[in-house]
Amino acid sequence: MKTKKYFLSVAIMLTGMMLVLVSCKKNLPDNRLSIANDSQYTQFLYQPTLGRNTLFTNNFTYGNSSRPLDFKIVNMRTFGGEPAPELTKLYPVKVWKTAYDGTEKSLAEIEAKRVIENHPLFEVRPHSGEFLMWAEANSNMIKAQPDSGYVFDVEMSNTGGRKYFQNFRLSPLRERPYEPSPLDPITGQGTSTSVSPAGLFITGTRTNQFLSSSDVAVVFNKLPKGLPGYSGHSISFKFIDTLAQVIDPNKFALTDWGNLVHGFNMIKDATKVKFDVAYPIPLTAYPTKYTTTDGGAARVVFRFDRQAFGAVLLHCYLALNFKIYEEGDWEIIFQFKNDKPKFDND
């Protein structure tokens, strides 16, 4: 009898404890996300260069806010407080849907990796807070410096609440269709007509001295649309001596023409070498055999060997690191200003 009472008492006690635990669980607060005061933007002025994709990263600290967070631009306006529909409307932009890696075998294969989507020309990444200006934005539609530009706010939210960041400044710089560029980013006017090569190891014919980078003027020239033999998406390289006479590209006999740029349908004659290419150049910042080691620019190197006095073999070259953002038929002209390059042996 005592045994039965003991087990009955234990059962009643356990039942009571379970009821208490269930009651406590019901009274626990919901596991809600939170918005913390230490979540902050670290940059409030943005100056993208128009005509190219510009992504602003590492501009937000999450602090103790719970993730995921959602971001959206609100109250986009001109500096004077007027509506800015040019930055709130959707426009068709070109977006990578498959990663570019530099091994593509044709323009069609490259273009198959890109699609057209509709986006605002300036937008915030919805879960990171990063800002992106699309390459399709240009100074014909977007206010650029020296104009004061735009002001906007950002709403950050999750299920725990929302927070607003106010009075960001968007002050775009004018297009520079290529780099290195002599164009002023505010006025859009050229400070010179040419730039210098990235590297040069060539002897001059007249002086028999090594030329310096300042002895070569590099000119970027965009050809008119519709010229016979041009596709609308090509790049050509030309060489000119001090008398404005064309130098045969074949003089640069050790150039790896097949891997000079990520281009196709190469045509090389006595006046130029031309490729069909996709734009921009480089297509992304991914390092390939056609770019600098960091992938930030395309790199071309024109090479030849010659024997100097004393049977010294010189590995001569002319190099350029460059970017082109605007689609078209571009030619890059290397003009030797002060002395002709020496190709023959001594």
Instruction: With residue 262 as reference, give the H or E element that holds it.
Output: none
Q: What is the pLDDT of residue 67?
A: 87
Question: In the prediction, which pLDDT does 246 show?
Answer: 98
- Judge if pTM exceeds 0.75: yes
Averages of pLDDT over runs of 10 residues in the chain (346 residues) are: 47 50 46 81 98 97 90 97 97 97 97 98 96 97 97 94 96 97 92 95 96 97 95 97 97 97 97 98 97 98 95 96 98 97 95
What does each C-alpha distance from 309 to 115, 312, 313 come to in angstroms? Answer: 57, 6, 9
pLDDT the model gives residue 32 = 65
Count how many residues are written for the chain.
346
Paired with 331 in beta bridges are 221, 236
Q: What is the pLDDT of residue 123?
A: 98
Q: Work out the widest C-alpha separation in the chain, in whole angstroms.
A: 124
CA distance 276 to 264: 5
- Nearest by Cα to 317 from 299, 301, 337: 301
Q: In terms of Cα–Cα distance, which of 85, 63, 66, 68 is closest to 76? A: 85
